[in-house]
Amino acid sequence: MQTYTPGKTEIAGVLKELGIGEKNYGASTGCKHYAAQGPVLESYSPVDGQLIGAVETSTAGDYEKVMKIAEQAFIAWRAIPAPRRGEIVRQMGDQIRKYKEPLGKLVSYEMGKSLQEGMGEVQEMIDICDFAVGLSRQLYGLTMHSERPKHRMYEQWHPLGIVGIISAFNFPVAVWSWNSMLAWVCGDVCVWKPSSKTPLCAVACQNIITEVLKNNNVPEGVSCLLIGNPVGDMMNKDKRVPMVSFTGSTRIGRRVSSLVAERFGKTILELGGNNAIIVSEHADLNMVLMGSVFGAVGTAGQRCTSTRRLIIHESVYDKTIGVLKNAYGQLKIGNPLDASNHVGPLIDKKAVEDYLNAIAKAKQEGGKMVVEGKVLSGDGYESGCYVQPCIIEAKNSFGIVQEETFAPILYVMKYKTIEEAIAMQNDVPQGLSSSIFTNNMREMEKFLSAEGSDCGIANVNIGTSGAEIGGAFGGEKETGGGRESGSDAWKAYMRRQTNTINYGSDLPLAQGIKFNV
Tens digits of per-residue pLDDT, 177-223?
999 999 999 999 999 999 999 999 999 999 999 999 999 999 999 99
Contact residues for 226 (Cβ-Cβ < 8 A; gap 6+): 26, 27, 36, 58, 62, 63, 66, 191, 192, 193
Q: Cα(284)–Cα(352) distance, rounded to whole angstroms?
A: 34
Q: Cα(166)–Cα(229) distance, rounded to whole angstroms?
A: 10
Contact 365, 342 (CB under 8 A): no
SS3 call for 324: helix
- CA geometry: angle 129, 183, 105, nearest 5 deg: 45
pLDDT 10s digits, 233-285? 999 999 999 999 999 999 999 999 999 999 999 999 999 999 999 999 999 99
Active site residue 314: no
Contact 391, 289 (CB under 8 A): no
Q: Cα(337)–Cα(116) distance, rounded to whole angstroms?
A: 8
- What's the whole-model pTM score? 0.96
Model pLDDT, residue 23: 87
Asked whether residue 516 carries a pLDDT value surpassing 90, the answer given is no
Q: What distances in angstroms separate CA 244 from CA 234, 281, 296, one per listed residue?
A: 11, 44, 30
Sheet of 243-247: strand order equals: 33-34, 27-28, 223-226, 189-193, 162-166, 243-247, 266-270
Q: Please state at what angle helix 199-215 crosses helix 174-186, rounded to 10 degrees.
A: 30
**Choosing from 121, 220, 270, 478, which is the catalytic residue?**
270
Q: What distances in angstroms separate CA 501 from CA 151, 152, 238, 429, one per listed residue?
A: 6, 5, 35, 47
Asked whether residue 317 carries a pLDDT value surpassing 70, the answer given is yes
For residue 17, give the DSSP letter: H
H helices present in 246-333, as ranges:
250-262, 285-297, 317-328
Q: Tell me, what amino acid is at 268?
A: I
pLDDT 10s digits, 87-144? 999 999 999 999 999 999 999 999 999 999 999 999 999 999 999 999 999 999 999 9
What is the distance, to the nearest Å, from the Cα of residue 502 to the centroid of all Cα atoms in its chain? Answer: 45
**Choosing from 304, 385, 390, 455, which is the catalytic residue?**
304
pLDDT 10s digits, 27-38? 999 999 998 999
| CA neighbours closer than 13 Å in the CB half-sphere of residue 23 | 8
Average pLDDT along the chain: 96
Q: Please state at what angle helix 115-135 crosses helix 174-186, rounded to 10 degrees.
A: 10
Asked whether residue 161 carries a pLDDT value surpassing 70, the answer given is yes
Q: Dihedral, CA atoms, 122, 123, 128, 129, nearest 10 degrees?
A: 80
Q: Cα(221)–Cα(230) distance, rounded to whole angstroms?
A: 20
Active site residue 304: yes
Model pLDDT, residue 8: 61
Q: Cα(499)–Cα(476) distance, rounded to whole angstroms?
A: 32
CA quadruple 425, 426, 428, 433: dihedral sign: positive
- CA geometry: angle 17, 172, 269, nearest 5 deg: 155
Q: Tell me, what amino acid is at 290?
A: M
Q: Cα(508)–Cα(514) distance, rounded to whole angstroms?
A: 8
| CA neighbours closer than 13 Å in the CB half-sphere of residue 80 | 24
H helices present in 216-316, as ranges:
230-237, 250-262, 285-297
Model pLDDT, residue 2: 41
SS3 call for 51: strand
Give the CA radius of gyration of the chain: 25
Contact 494, 291 (CB under 8 A): no
Percent of the chain with pLDDT over 90: 95
Q: Dihedral, CA atoms, 198, 203, 209, 213, nearest 10 degrees?
A: 140
The H-or-E segment that residue 303 falls in is: none
φ, ψ dihedrals at 477, nearest 5° = 55, -130
Q: Cα(262)–Cα(140) distance, rounded to whole angstroms?
A: 31
